[in-house]
Structure formats: structure tokens, C-alpha cells
Structure 1
């Protein structure tokens, strides 16, 4: 658990990457989970994703990762796992829905859909967090301390 939660508590760059990635992904998750920001909500999103051929459990995970994973990134809670989930969703979205539309976003409406450049940028923000943790102000540090304190209490109770 320590490997999952440990991070450099002085790293402001990881903090900025974590919060920005979470803040950008959170509205996408809210669209899919809650129907906010013009999204369809959970059931219509599940239908859309499964109609694309995505298995039901994976479709549900995509929705949960984009919503709760993004929120956890903003908070710095389970930062590595949350960033890994976002990275996996970005790779999956790029390969299944955006690769065929080329690299660029559809700025001028001339493509059949959006390209995958956004997904690469999100992946570029996620990977350092997967490798090094959430950085400064991450709740992971608090959680690691709490788990360490519980472990010490359990050791003292046995002794």
C-alpha cells in the first residue's frame, strides 16, 4: 500500500498536473454519470458505449473512472490508481472512437469526429502521476499516515 500512496510532498508540478487533469476530466465524468453539462447521464451513456461494442463492465468502469477517478485526482486520493484509470480510458477512447478521425480536434467541423490529440495530452498529464504519485497536498499522504498509525496500533495491541 505504501508504494501506491507514497509521493514527494514537495512536488508542486505533480500537484498541478493532478489537479488540472482531474478538473478537466471531472465535467466529462459528470456528463456521463449525472447528465450534467449537456451529457446524457448514466443509462444513456451505458447504451451508447455498449452499442459501440464496449462490454458492459468496461463501460461502467469508464463512467466511474471519469467521474470518481477525476474527483479523486483533484483531492489527491489514490492518485496513482486514479491517474492509471484515466490513462486507460484515454487510450481506449483514442483507439476505439477517435483514431479514425485523425490527430486534430474537429475545430472547423470538416472531420467526421474529433481526433485524438486531447487524449494524448491527458495521457501526458496522467503518466507522471502514475509513476511518481500525486505530489504536494495529496490526501494520499494523509491516508498513508493513517494506515501507518493503524498498523502501529495493531502491532502494539498484539505485543
Structure 2
């Protein structure tokens, strides 16, 4: 059963593009230093200071998750996995900033909004204006979204167990 309508599809497109572009840009800051980002070296220093093992693995993982997850959301391509990538990174970001309060500039409100949007998109699917419809995901099933959210929490949990 599909409940897709033109207004719903348009709303999901706007949400996907907004969250996806934000996350893709943020990922390119980590990977390439674009948009005044730290690049891999700066991101590695930040991650190491935040308790992650030194090396490029976690900066590359976070950067790719944000960049590819963001592009996936923009295109509506493999939306459950794209949303899981964003949600997993945001769960880790919240754990790094935990204890600094809720509100910006040091709090977690930004990460909570992005994580909530990613979780919502995982549950709803991409809508009609998306490449997923060509992959047979037009009639989206709640199990896809729940599976994506579980995947994000498991991946984030494993990453956090590795963090000092």
C-alpha cells in the first residue's frame, strides 16, 4: 500500500535535499577540506582528541558516511541506507558533544535535528521524486526503515565501543 501524494512527495524531496546537501557538504569538509573544513588531517586531530583511535580510518568513515549518505538522500537513492549512514554519524557526534548542554553553540541540538530527520526519512522512504522508485522501493515498507535505524544504532554502538 502506498500513501504517496504530490504534496507528500514534494515535502519529502525538500527534506531530503536540505538534509542531504547539509550532510554532503559537511562530509566534504572532512574528506577534502572544502568549505573551510579541516580535511583528513584536521579531522584526524579532532577525532583523536575526542577519543577515537589515531589514524585516518574514522575520519574517512565519517566523511564518506556524510558525503555518500547526503548524496543518497538528495537523489533518493538507497534512502534507508543513506539515512542510516547519517543517523549513525549523528549518534557518534552527539556522544562526542554530550555534556555540553542541548543548545548551540556547544550543545547537541543540531545533531538531534539531523538525526531525527534521518530517522524520519528512513521510516517514510524517499517519496515519489526519487531514484528508489526505479529500484522497487516505491511501495515502501516500514521494515526497511526500522532495519535501517537498527543498523545505524548497531554501527554507532560498535564505533563508540572502539572510542576511548
In the superposition, the TM-score normalised over structure 2's length comes to: 0.70
For the Cα contact (< 8 Å) 2:30–2:60, is it kept in 1? no
For the Cα contact (< 8 Å) 1:8–1:132, is it kept in 2? no
Aligned alpha-carbon RMSD (Å): 2.3
Using the alignment, how far apart are the partners of 1:46 and 1:9 within structure 2?
44
Per-residue CA deviation, residues 45-79 of structure 1 (Å, 9 max, x unaligned), is: 13421342224544432111111111111111111
Using the alignment, how far apart are the partners of 2:25 and 2:5 within structure 1?
27
The answer for the alignment partner of 1:154 in structure 2 is none
- Structure 1 unmatched runs, 5+: 1-5, 107-113, 146-159
The answer for the alignment partner of 1:155 in structure 2 is none
How far 1:83 sits from its partner (Å)? 0.7
Moved more, 126-135 or 50-59: 50-59
Q: How many residues align?
A: 132
Report 1:10-159 matches (<5 A).
10=6, 11-12=8-9, 13-55=11-53, 57-96=57-96, 98-106=97-105, 114-144=106-136
Per-residue CA deviation, residues 89-131 of structure 1 (Å, 9 max, x unaligned), is: 11110112x222101102xxxxxxx210111111221112111
Higher relative contact order (CA 8 A, sep 6+): 1
How far 1:9 sits from its partner (Å)? 7.6
> 1:135 is paired with a residue of what secondary structure?
coil
Q: 1:138 to 1:15 in 2, by over 3 A?
A: same
In the superposition, the TM-score normalised over structure 1's length comes to: 0.72
